[in-house]
């Protein structure tokens, strides 16, 4: 059956195309950036890197997960077939447009349309089932799309300095989705896997995981000259998430890769939010906060969630198979190496031996981190691609 046929298994649920596209694109994009891709006049390399990892890689995983999960949460049919193909086409068009100077306007329009359509696809089953609990996720998807539109609006004005608030806004919105999804699934996955009672999470605490990053986002977009609210919400969000992670911990987690990868990733994201908030008064913490969220939080959580949810939704036993444990450790290494590079760039180490010039050490760390990140995603793609392109192993729909 041709893959461009809406009836092909890959178009049965959103996780199938978007997990695969995210893994392949994420690996290619991080290697390009890590090894000197300079971008183009309309979007220099470091801006392209941030744009594509936030709204390209991370956005694909977020949308793939949410549009898959909402069918389970609401009992409604999933987004599939032609509509899912349209979403994938918009995402691909945005990636292609961002790569060429003449395509920036295409990237801006198609990328924003991708998030608006994803929000509409998520809203449909939520409204049909009167599932009020998930209205906030609809608003958050719309806000993520707004951050993308804001970035491209500022890009069109030609002010590089004005791009930072929109980039940070996109990043913290992804951190908010990590918080919300983590609050919902990590206690559940832990209890189910270890056969223990599930730790309760109160509604206000669960909402705070997304509402606080949404406040940070609005502060960045509306009052970027005064980031007091951003700083306070970031520190509060990180502390709340870190405390919940301690509540969920069980010694059995450390022997279960499908669990510890989520715990480490969620913890890294919490620390990143704290560091990013503290970066307002202490600017040398900003890069550390960004990369704890981007590599530690997004890298580990997306890989861990893709690995686990794809097993369940392709009808396979909930048992991690090689080489995914290696992929998890590679992503941990990528996060640690990038955090070390950020610490070096912060000026924490002032007196280096001549043989270890800061620039050469920094470059070595970022190159090694990029390779580890890419290798982790490629290992996932190698193992999971056949499963994502074939019908469920148990014969069920999905």
Instruction: Give me the domain span that covers residue 261.
Output: 9-388
Residues 1, 10: Cα–Cα separation, whole Å: 11
Tell me, yes or no, whether 94 lies in a domain.
yes
Tell me, yes or no, whether 2 lies in a domain.
no
DSSP label of 58: I
Tell me, yes or no, whether 217 lies in a domain.
yes
Nearby residues of 176 by Cβ (< 8 Å), 6 or more positions away:
140, 209, 210, 211, 212, 213, 214, 217, 237
* Domain CATH for 73: 1.20.210.10
In this prediction, residues 341-359 reach a mean pLDDT of: 63
Record the pTM: 0.95
Tell me, yes or no, whether 395 lies in a domain.
no
Tell me, yes or no, whether 366 lies in a domain.
yes
Tell me, yes or no, whether 393 lies in a domain.
no
Tell me, yes or no, whether 96 lies in a domain.
yes
Question: How many domains is the chain partitioned into structurally?
Answer: 1
Nearby residues of 249 by Cβ (< 8 Å), 6 or more positions away:
263
In sequence order, the β-bridge partners of residue 44 are 39
In this prediction, residues 26-55 reach a mean pLDDT of: 93
How far is CA 232 from its chain centroid? 23
Residues 187, 246: Cα–Cα separation, whole Å: 11
Which stretch of 38-42, 46-50, 91-95, 353-357 has the lowest confidence by average pLDDT? 353-357
Tell me, yes or no, whether 167 lies in a domain.
yes
| C-alpha closest to that of 145 among 97, 87, 100, 192 | 87
In this prediction, residues 175-204 reach a mean pLDDT of: 96
Mean pLDDT of the chain: 94
Task: Provide the b/e sequence for 159-187 (b: ≥16 CB within 10 Å).
Answer: eeeebbbbbbbbbbbbbbbbbbbbbbbbb
Instruction: Please give the pLDDT value at position 160.
Output: 67
* pLDDT score of 135 more than 70: yes
Q: Which residue has the tokens 């891709």?
A: 37
């Amino acid at each position: 059956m041709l893959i461009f046929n809406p009836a092909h298994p890959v178009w049965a649920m959103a996780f199938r195309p978007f997990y695969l596209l995210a893994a392949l694109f994420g690996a290619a994009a991080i290697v390009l950036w890590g090894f000197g891709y300079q971008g183009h006049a309309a979007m220099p390399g470091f801006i392209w890197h941030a744009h594509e990892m936030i709204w390209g890689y991370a956005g694909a995983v977020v949308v793939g997960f949410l549009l898959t999960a909402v069918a389970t949460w609401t009992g409604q049919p999933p987004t599939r077939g032609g509509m899912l193909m349209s979403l994938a086409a918009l995402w691909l068009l945005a990636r292609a447009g961002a790569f060429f100077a003449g395509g920036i306007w295409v990237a801006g329009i198609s990328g924003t349309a991708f998030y608006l359509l994803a929000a509409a696809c998520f809203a449909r089953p939520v409204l049909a089932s009167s599932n009020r609990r998930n209205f906030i996720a609809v608003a958050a998807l719309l806000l993520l799309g707004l951050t993308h539109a804001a970035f491209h609006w500022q890009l069109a004005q030609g002010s590089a300095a004005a791009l930072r608030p929109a980039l940070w806004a996109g990043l913290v919105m992804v951190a908010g989705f990590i918080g919300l999804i983590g609050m919902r699934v990590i206690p559940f996955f832990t209890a189910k896997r270890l056969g223990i009672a599930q730790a309760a999470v109160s509604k206000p605490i669960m909402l705070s995981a997304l509402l606080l990053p949404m406040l940070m986002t609005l502060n960045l977009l509306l009052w970027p000259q005064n980031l007091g609210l951003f700083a306070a919400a970031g520190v509060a969000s990180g502390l709340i998430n870190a405390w919940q992670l301690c509540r969920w911990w069980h010694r059995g987690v450390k022997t279960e890769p499908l669990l510890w990868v989520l715990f480490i990733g969620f913890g890294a994201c919490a620390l990143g939010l704290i560091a990013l908030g503290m970066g307002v008064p202490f600017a040398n913490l900003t890069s550390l906060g960004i990369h704890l969220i981007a590599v530690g939080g997004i890298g580990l959580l997306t890989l861990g969630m893709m690995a686990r949810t794809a097993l369940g939704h392709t009808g396979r036993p909930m048992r991690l198979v090689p080489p995914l444990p290696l992929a998890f450790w590679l992503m941990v290494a990528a996060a640690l190496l990038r955090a070390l590079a950020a610490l070096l760039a912060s000026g924490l180490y002032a007196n280096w031996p001549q043989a270890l010039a800061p620039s050469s050490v920094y470059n070595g760390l970022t190159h090694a981190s990029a390779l580890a990140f890419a290798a982790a995603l490629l290992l996932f793609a190698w193992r999971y691609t056949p499963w994502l392109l074939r019908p469920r192993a148990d014969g069920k729909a999905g």
